A and B are shown apart, each in its own frame.
Chain A
Amino acid sequence: MALLNRMDWYNLARTTNWTPAYVTEDELFPPELSGGFGLPATAWEGYDEPYKQTYPEYVKVQREKDAGAYSVKAALERSQIFENADPGWKSVMKAHYGAIARGEYAAASAEARMMRFSKAPGMRNMATLGCMDEIRHGQIQLFFPHEHVSKDRQMDWAYKAYDTNEWAMIAARHFFDDIMMTRDAISVSIMLTFSFETGFTNMQFLGLAADAAEAGDHTFANLISSIQTDESRHAQIGGPALKVLIENGLKDEAQKRVDIAVWTAWKLFSVLTGPIMDYYTPLEHRKQSFKEFMEEWIVAQFERALTDLGLDLPWYWDKFIADLNDTHHGMHMGVYYWRPTVWWNPAAGVTPEERNWLEQKYPGWNDTWGKCWDVIIDNVVDGNMALTFPETLPMVCNMCQLPIIGTPGNGWNVQDYPLEYNGRLYHFGSDVDRWVFQQDPARYAGHLNVVDRFLAGMIQPMDLSGALQYMNIAPGECGDDAHNYAWAETYRAMRELKLAS
């Protein structure tokens, strides 16, 4: 053999811890950035990443991946997939790119924090590649939607969303900034890679890729499944860090970070991914329901991953499982109701056929969410469009930054979970959101949610026009019904038929 095998030299390339002499270990690895949990560097040298890749392998494999993704895009550029796509599917793409592209780019810096500040040399090298991955995901998810900016002003939000105070973006930033931008290296590895990327990105990238392939959007399907092959590598950065913590008697600290990140990720997905899977994706292209995807990718996967490591299921697991039936339906209705404040056109997704599907996937849907939609549908059919838009402010949770919702119908159960802290009254959508706040109140207490800002007079004039201006969203960008209410014709016809009989 003229060339060495990778494992001949891999270990040496991650033998890079040394004892600093001109500065102290705490100066080289400040605890607030490093997250050493009081453990010396030597404790972290046993860190062993399960997915091993070298630099030469990386640039080769990634070159090939990009060649694949970009050539599919080039080949399909004239195929008019975007032009001919169902408006609901376009909304899926708009919501996805806006909430994801620059968030992924930001994750490069979260990876760079692990690279610079982790005391585990193996983690530092894997995070080097992880950082590169996230540059890829930021750049490729800007390049692909850019093709469509000249066709649709809302596509500008693939770039613009992160610069705005649009309410869903405040929620997205609050989540990502909390788990990845403002944490120490080890916490990033647990909260971003283990808790978020292991399950939730699978859900977004593989679940959505399945729907995209069904919808004939092969460029998008190919893009996001290619991204997931990177995620599945660097998502494994967190597992061995959890192991080190558990072996050193720090299971509670590890568990707490997992529990916080999984819950807050779930809430963001309930507004971002739930509606697009169960309402925007055209019925005939839905592979599974959001709940079924969640059960497969999140529930089963996490239960396995947590058990393997010796961690417990989060204390709220039963509530989480139960909420899979409800939360995203409420989020969808909220988004639809407030549609001028989002950068995509929400599809109502409530034709009789779609309602049958929802009832089948979520037994009782017609008796709960369906009752509210009946009112909206009647208003649309009657031409009372003003009544299909909101007049009052929602209550917004001070943790997830999303409306506080319950399930309508006979079991109407909406509840605020308040907490007074340092003289200010905070509102939460669940006891879990409140629990997250209580784990580190100083981290969250100084933040204002969008309604707090409204009440503080930061949004002027204090009406919808002021809110839109504050969110930097204008006509041409503001969302409206994806199908321009064409779906209501069926209900109009049904009503006329009923009257005639």
Chain B
Amino acid sequence: MTEAQVLQPLKTWSHLAKRRRKPSEYEIVSANLHYNNRDPEAPYETSPDVFMNRWYKQNTFGSALRHADWNAFRDPDEVIYRTYNLMQDGQETYVFGLFDQFNAREHDVALDAAWANRLAALFAPARYLFHTLQMASAYVGQMSPASTITNCNYFQMADSFRWLSHVAYRTVELGRAFPDAGFGRDERAHWENDAAWQGFRELTERALTTWDWGEAIVVLSLLVKPAVEEAVLRGLGESGRHNGDTLLGMLTDAWLVDAARHRRWTAAFIAQALETEGNAETIRGWIAKWEPLADRAIDAFCAELPDVVDAAARGKAATRTFRQSLGL
């Protein structure tokens, strides 16, 4: 064996070494981490036809959304675990600082009882809505064909849990100020029965049972989340400001910081998807199929926000503007 045939140390992982550029910490710890694409017959090292292997073969690798190299995806924010916690610990310090300050100045006591009743019906049940985002992001993450896409979805899952946690926290606080409004007790009933939520309920239940990875990520990122963000985060936040609820508006603004980051990776993802011929039509087909459901969700929720001018129309337009900005 000659010396020339002996592999020498490289400057980085072999899979990144082919390029001349020095990889970032993000790339070193995020790129090409899934190993279930080694064998097209058996994503996982068991019988090729066990249920979960068939599931991945059909729903991840058999998805209609195709790209020769999904692993080329890069999160424009290059979020890694370490920086996620740095960033979100700071954000949480801000939000809990708000909770603390507004509590000290007895913000809730100053709220109108009628507004409190609307919060009980329109804000507190968002715990369920955000939980569906948490679940849907977890599914898309575990089915994504590239670890860089997976990570964006897992961080989004954690962000959704963050939003849910804030809602739970505020629900308890509001319940102390308005013990008769049903806070902490009636959310499930509102979520399951109120007209305001049925659009979102149908949209999210159907999105949660969309198993094809390509359709699931498109539906979640381009239809469900924009609808939630425009109607609930922006619409309800605006309504709060009209009703002396400064805290709600600041809270939804804090969530929108997360949502803006989600949209940045979504934009990068769609740009990559559109590199492959046929994907544009596929994605447009999914949008056409799901848009009516997303619109109905916005309509139903915004119908309860009469103090926000043209809430539904503006919300629907904003979701379209977002999709159009991606070339769709």
Residues of A bordering B, CB below 8 Å: 2-4, 8-10, 12-13, 15-16, 18-23, 27-28, 32-33, 54-56, 59-60, 62-63, 66, 70, 102, 105-106, 108-109, 112-113, 115-116, 121, 124-125, 128-129, 131-132, 135-136, 138-140, 142-143, 146, 149-153, 155-156, 159-160, 162-163, 170, 173-174, 177-178, 181-183, 442-447, 474-477
Contact = CB atoms under 8 A, between A and B. Distances in A.
A149 B25 contact: no
B38 A163 contact: yes
Nearest to B184: A12
A182 B50 contact: yes
B206 A18 contact: no
B47 A151 contact: no
A14 to B, nearest CB: 9
A63 B86 contact: yes
B142 A4 contact: no
B177 interface: no
Interface string B97-111: 001110110000000
B167 to A, nearest CB: 8
Given A54-B165, A476-B7, A12 B171 contact: yes
A174 B256 CA distance: 42
B47 A66 contact: no
Given A182-B44, A447-B46, A152 B28 contact: no
Contacts of B154: 108, 112, 131-132, 135
B35 A13 contact: no
| Main DSSP-derived SS at the A contact region | helix
Contact of A474 (B7, B35, B162, B184): B7
B131 interface: yes
B48 A446 contact: yes
A213 B169 CA distance: 42
B210 to A, nearest CB: 10
A113 to B, nearest CB: 6
B314 interface: no
Contact of A135 (B11, B142, B151): B151
B134 interface: yes
Nearest to A32: B51
Given A4-B169, A21-B205, A136-B81, A55 B7 contact: no
Interface string B164-198: 11001101110000000000100110011000001
Contacts of B48: 446-447
Given A16-B131, A59-B88, A156-B14, A131 B138 contact: yes
B168 A13 contact: yes
Nearest to B16: A159
Interface string B71-109: 000000000111011101100100010011101100000
Contact of A2 (B25, B88, B103, B142): B103
Contacts of B208: 23, 28
B47 A132 contact: no
Contacts of A178: 45-46
A179 to B, nearest CB: 10
Q: Select the residue from A12, A66, A162, A177 with max chain B CB neighbours within 10 A.
A: A12
A23 B7 contact: no
Contacts of A116: 135-136, 138-139, 142
Contacts of A62: 81, 85
B13 A149 contact: yes
A120 B169 CA distance: 21
Nearest to A60: B89
Contacts of B151: 135
A9 B13 contact: no
B275 to A, nearest CB: 24
A448 B13 CA distance: 29
B104 A2 contact: yes
Contacts of A152: 9
7 contacts: A19-B192, A28-B209, A56-B92, A132-B84, A142-B33, A163-B38, A183-B52
Contact of B81 (A9, A33, A140, A159): A140
Given A9-B168, A22-B205, A447 B47 contact: yes
B128 interface: yes
B34 interface: yes
Contact of A177 (B30, B46, B104, B141): B46
B86 A125 contact: no
A182 B53 contact: yes
Given A23-B209, A108-B154, A178-B46, A13 B10 contact: no
Nearest to A173: B45
A334 to B, nearest CB: 20
> Which 10 A-B pairs have CB atoms at the shortest separation, nearest pair first?
A476-B7, A446-B47, A139-B29, A182-B52, A177-B44, A13-B168, A173-B45, A63-B85, A115-B138, A12-B168
Given A156-B9, A163-B38, A445-B47, 9 more contacts: A4-B173, A13-B164, A112-B157, A131-B154, A142-B29, A143-B29, A150-B11, A174-B46, A181-B52
Contacts of A442: 47, 49-50
B49 to A, nearest CB: 6
B158 interface: yes
Q: Select the residue from A13, A132, A146, A442 with max chain B CB neighbours within 10 A.
A: A13
A476 B135 contact: no
B183 to A, nearest CB: 9
Contact of B9 (A102, A113, A125, A149): A149
A39 B14 CA distance: 48
Contacts of B198: 21
Given A109-B141, A182-B46, A132 B81 contact: yes
Contact of B33 (A105, A121, A177, A445): A105
A156 B135 contact: no
Contact of A55 (B36, B161, B192): B161
Given A9-B169, A60-B89, A112-B138, A135 B10 contact: no
Contacts of A3: 96, 99-100, 103
Given A54-B165, A476-B6, A115 B44 contact: no
Nearest to B159: A55
A443 B47 contact: yes
Contacts of B266: none
B324 interface: no
B27 to A, nearest CB: 10
B52 to A, nearest CB: 4
A159 B85 contact: no
A146 B158 contact: no
Contacts of A32: 51
Contacts of A162: 35
B103 A177 contact: no
Contacts of A13: 127, 164-165, 168-169
B325 interface: no
B68 interface: no
A161 to B, nearest CB: 9
